[in-house]
Amino acid sequence: MPATLRLPGKVAIITGGASGIGLESVLLFACEGAHVVAADINEEAAQRAVKLVADMYPDAPRAIAVKCDVSKEADIKACVAKAVDEFGRLDVMFNNAGIMHPADDNALTTEERIWDLTMNSNLKGVWWGCKYAIEAMRKNPDGSKGSIINTASFVAVLGAATPQLAYTASKGAVLAMTRELAVVHAREGIRLNSLCPGPLRTKLLMDFLDTPDKKNRRLVQVPAGRFGEAIEQAKGALFLASDDSSYVIGADFKVDGGICAAYVTPE
C-alpha cells in the first residue's frame, strides 16, 4: 500500500464492482485506504472482488460485497444502509454499473423492452444511487460530506454511426442529471461529477470488434492510438473520489484517449 493514502478511512460504495472499471476501482480504492462496498447484481463475482482485496492488500480496511440491482430502488436503499451500518458513514458513491445490450440498435429497430431495461440500469439506477448517497452523506457524524461519481461515456458527447440508441441516450442523461445535482448540492459539500470513459479494451468491446478491420475502424478516431484500460478509469475515479479534486464540481470528466477532442487524428 502507498505511504500516503488518498482515501484514508473513507467509506466507498462502488456499483458494478465485480468487473471491469468497477473491479479495478474496488482494488484501487481499497489500496488507497478506503472501506469498500462492492455492490453488484452478480453476488458471487462481487464476493470474488472482496476476496481479491483481502489477498492483494491484507493491510487494507475491510471490504464487503453486497448483492444489488441498481435498477431497483429497494436494493440501492438497502446497500447504502448496509454500508452505513457496517462502517458508520458514507464518503464516496461511485455509480458505475451499466449495461450495453446487444439488441440496442437504431431508432427503428430498438425494442421498447431494451430501451426500458437500459434506462432502468444506466439512468434510473444512477438516480437511486445519488438519492440514497446524498441522504446518507448528510448524516455523516463528523459533518463532512462526500463525493458522488456517475459513469457516463464518450458516446454521451459524440455521435457514432454504430448506434446504440438507448445506451447513448441513457449516458447523455447521466451527464445532464449529474451536472444539475452537482449545482444543487455544491454548497452543502456534496460534490458530483461524471466520469466519461473512452472506448476500453474490455471483453465486451473486444468480442464485438472481433476483426483487425473493426478495431482499426474505431482506433483511427482515437488520438492515443489504442483502447483504454479499466485501471485508467479507476485512476480517474480515484481522483474524483479523493480530496485532490475538492474544487472539481459538475465536470464531464473525460478519460478518453483524446477522442472527444479530435477532428483529424495523427497518421
Using CB under 6 A, which of 12, 15, 66, 134 touches ligand NAD?
A: 15
Cell numbers that stand for 124 in this block: 434510473
Closest CA to 30 of 68, 58, 3: 58
Distance of closest approach, residue 239 Cβ to ligand NAD, in angstroms:
16
Q: Residue type for 149, please?
A: I
CA distance 3 to 60: 12
Choosing from 164, 168, 178, 202, the residue that interacts with ligand NAD (CB under 6 A) is: 202
**Interaction residues for ligand NAD, span 204-243 (CB under 6 A):** 204-205, 230
Q: To the nearest whole angstrom, how small is the minimum distance from the Cβ of residue 120 to ligand NAD?
A: 8
Are the C-beta atoms of residues 71 and 64 closer than 8 Å to each other? no
Q: Out of 57, 132, 167, 263, pick the active-site residue.
A: 167
Verify binding: residue 147, ligand NAD, rule CB under 6 A.
no
Of 18-26, 107-115, 134-142, 235-243, which part binds ligand NAD (CB under 6 A)?
Answer: 18-26
Task: Pull the grid cell for residue 180.
Answer: 444539475
61, 199, 236, 250: which one binds ligand NAD (CB under 6 A) = 199
Among 90, 38, 91, 31, which residue's Cα sits nearest to residue 64?
Answer: 38
Residue 121 has what DSSP assignment? Answer: I
Active site residue 263: no
- Cell (9 digits) for 236: 480517474
Verify binding: residue 61, ligand NAD, rule CB under 6 A: no
Catalytic residues: 167
